[in-house]
Structure 1
Amino acid sequence: MENGISIYPGLDNTLEENLQLIEMAAGYGIHRIFTSLHIPETDTTALKREFGLLLQAAHRHDMEIISDVSPAMLPLLGLKEFNPSALRMLGITTLRLDDGFSWQEIAGLTRRYPELRIQLNASTTTSSVLQHLRDANADFSRIEALHNFYPRRGTGISEEALVHANIRLHRFGVRVSAFVPSRDGRRRSPLGDGLPTLEDHRDVSTSFASRHLVALGCDAVFLADALPTEDEIAALAALKNDRVILKARLLTSDAAERQLLTHPFTARLDEARDAIRAQESRPLLKQAGSAIHPDHTDKRPIGAVTIDNEKYGRYMGELQIIRRAQPADPRTNVAAQLLPEDLQLMPYITPGRKFSFQFLEQTDII
């Protein structure tokens, strides 16, 4: 996934903190940086002094720089007028266009400047604008979209609004990204209330918010706040855009069960009422030549990850995530239990969708 961090020169972090953030992100394989250069509280003197050094550090790691483009930012960069070639030479590789650009201008930019990517505001771009861009022969291979973030509490968008926007943009082949806040690191000033796209994410963990956005159809995720923790950056790096990732507590010590749980799975197309059934689990167990012996045959609450044992005959190896609480069955082992907040991700594992697990006890199982 093309996930990213955010840098705000001249605001909360020192130059050294921003440089360390770039190094850390690059070390985790994150190669995109979003920056905004027209935040009113920014120390413009520090911004002018530091921005070039930050661009150089990003360039050393072959990182993409995404910047808001507005008339107010041009003097900060030493430019008298909007000049995409000059912005590219400075090291800005993607232009996020919001107000002030017509669809004709956007279409022209995609054709005249193939070395640049154009980023639309995913939260406000309408079907009409997208159709106008198509009619104007815009190069959609150069276009992507990024949702807004919302510093003030109560102003983040709803899940429904994000999903509708994602569907609208995907119909035109536009990849969509969104922001998550840092819960445990330094939140950006002046409000310090986090910078989520979804209001529901304002105070949840970065890991959960990121995995939720992927479940909702986002193609990439950006950490919006000033100085996230290393754990939060690691959570971003662990995302997979082809599946819903569920965090769970591992309950089994059986080697065959643990090995089975390392695989990604696909939810069966013939959806069960009471459980999410893995399509591949029985064939995988058979291929491994393993057997599942009775163990932890406890009652099965919602979110239990179960594996049928040898007492179930040909169903041995059947892996399920329980949707409706069920009593104990000596034929079924309870191998893991989803974390409470991850129960919210179960509805997104629709028929045919892939899913996998991250375990607290054994973090290398993904």
Structure 2
Amino acid sequence: MTMRSLGLSIYPDHSNFEEDAKYLTLGHKYGFSRIFMSMLEIQGSPAETQAKYKKIIEYGNKLGYQTFLDVSPQLFKKLGIDYSDLKFFADIGTTGIRLDEAFNGATEAMLSYNPYGLIIELNMSNNVDYLNNIISYQANEPFIYGCHNFYPQRGTGLPYNFFLDCSKRFKRFNIHTAAFVSSQTGTMGPWNVEDGLPTLEEDRDLPIDVQAMHLFASNLIDDVIIGNAYASEDELRALSQVNRYQLQLHIDYVDGINNIEKKIVEETQHFRRGDMNTTVIRSTIPRVTYKDIPNPLHDNEEIFKRGDVLIGNDDFGIYKNELQIVLEPHKDSRKNKIGSIRKDELFLLDFIKPWTKFKLIGR
């Protein structure tokens, strides 16, 4: 598996160096390591553009960021750059260029052999045989990445199933992938419409960490990038705490939870039992690990609802201290309710399949 990372976006043609530098410094503090930078809306001369972008890219490079520039055929024309020579981008310190528009396959393949070692990032948000065409022209595959679009206009982001189909085309070739989440405080993007900048429409209004959890849980996205600027420090911190390699859900505890139940929740590497059912997700290892530890009855007489987290109590025999997450409402006094999954995260229960590993965090 490719190592996963966090990224943020800046828009030098809509901002200033000082504010961008401050944002990159804050992102560095929270472990962000890549920058998406749009060049689609440049205003100045080629020399002015080069100087402006070089200054902020070099600042990012010193902090250990990799910068990918979003480019288009019109931009090449405006800057007088020929596809056969990407020296302009190498000179300003970029890691790679993202091709916002497709060429003919042969062009992208040739670009991947540029002498500067620049990564060529492709637009992933189309379910066509684009990538296969490029690969068939014997592209330099380690230098081909994929990155989804973001969608400033409410209602125009990708539906999840379409996103899956597009992403699977890239993962079939083990291509490094990226997609966008949206800050709820950021107001800056490339255009003068900005209703948030996510890839997935259903993520637009979710807390930023839940958006990232959704993308990582697909197992099709390596890098999660904040599309709009500037995200708040709280959002950067929340993203830095997301587990990028397994689902990590948050539980709001009931007042009656006891110490053994907290231990079961927080210190177990949970996985869903392989012979699954539709009523509950079962994590059965704790009933073995803690079989000799008593667990008195509490919060066990109500009807349990989807997202409630239960642990078998002293009346449950061999199943005492087994942890379960409710999928379908039911009642069983042999189980203690110890909390509930955070409301915004309930939809992520669908990603816990037989044998899926997951973590739980109480609060």
Q: TM-score range by the shorter chain?
A: 0.7 to 0.9
Query: Is the 2:306–2:326 Cα contact (8 Å) retained in structure 1?
Result: yes
- The answer for the alignment partner of 1:364 in structure 2 is none
Deviation string for 1:257-309 (max 9, x for gaps)? Answer: 222222442222211120111254334446xx755343333422210011112
**1:51-90 superposed matches below 5 A:** 51-74=53-76, 80-82=81-83, 83-90=85-92
Aligned to 1:320: 324
Distance 1:142 1:293, change over 3 A: farther
Match among 245, 248, 258 for residue 251 of structure 2: 248
Q: Distance in 2 between matches of 1:73 and 1:322?
A: 53
1:240 deviates by 2.6
TM value normalised by structure 2: 0.87
Asked if structure 1 preserves the Cα contact closer than 8 Å seen for 2:306 and 2:328, the reply is yes
RMSD, aligned α-carbons: 2.5
Contact 1:265 1:354 in 2 (8 A): yes
CA gap 1:285/1:73 in 2 versus in 1, 3 angstroms: farther
* Cα distance, 1:255 vs structure 2: 2.5
For 1:44-66, what per-residue CA distance to the aligned partner results, in whole angstroms no more than 9, with x for missing partners? 48866642221122111111001
Is contact 2:127-2:165 (8 Å) kept?
no
Tell me how far apart the structure 2 counterparts of residues 178 and 284 of structure 1 sit (CA, whole Å): 39
Measure the CA separation in 1 of the matches of 2:49 and 2:236: 24
Query: Residue 287 of structure 2 aligns with which residue?
Result: 282
Structure 1 residues without counterparts, runs of 5 or longer: 362-366
Q: Please, which runs of 5 or more residues in structure 2 have no aligned partner?
A: none
- The structure-2 alpha-carbon separation of the partners of 1:283 and 1:103, relative to structure 1 and needing over 3 Å to count, comes to farther
The question of 1:295 aligning with 2:298 is answered yes
Change (3 A) 1:38 1:293: same
What is the CA distance between 1:92 and its match in structure 2? 0.7
User: Could you tell me how far 1:311 is from its partner in structure 2?
Assistant: 2.8
TM-superposed CA distance for 1:320, in Å, is 0.9
Deviation at 1:230, TM superposition (A): 1.2
* Distance in 2 of aligned mates of 1:267 and 1:352: 5
Provide the rounded CA distance (Å) in 2 between the counterparts of 1:323 and 1:272.
9
Amino-acid identity (%): 27
Instruction: Choose from 26, 30, 41 the match for 1:24.
Output: 26
TM-score, scaled to structure 1? 0.87
Identify if the C-alpha distance between structure 1 residues 324 and 203 changes in structure 2 by more than 3 Å, giving closer, same or farther.
Answer: same
> Partner of 2:13: helix, strand, or coil?
coil
1:206 positional shift: 1.4
What displacement does 1:75 show?
Answer: 7.8
For these two proteins, the number of residue pairs brought into alignment is 352
Q: Which has the higher mean CA deviation after the structures are superposed, 2-11 or 349-358?
A: 349-358
Q: Which amino acid aligns with 2:209?
A: S
Distance 1:7 1:343, change over 3 A: same
Q: In 1, distance between residues paired with 2:35 and 2:161?
A: 27
Amino acid in structure 2 at the alignment position of 1:273 = T
Q: Contact (CA 8 Å) 1:275, 1:320: kept in 2 or not? A: yes
Secondary structure of the corresponding residue to residue 276 of structure 1: strand
Distance 2:34 2:284 in 1: 35
Structure 2 CA distance for partners of 1:43 and 1:131, relative to 1, 3 Å: closer
Of 191, 194, 210, the match for 1:192: 194
Does 2:270 correspond to 1:265?
Answer: yes
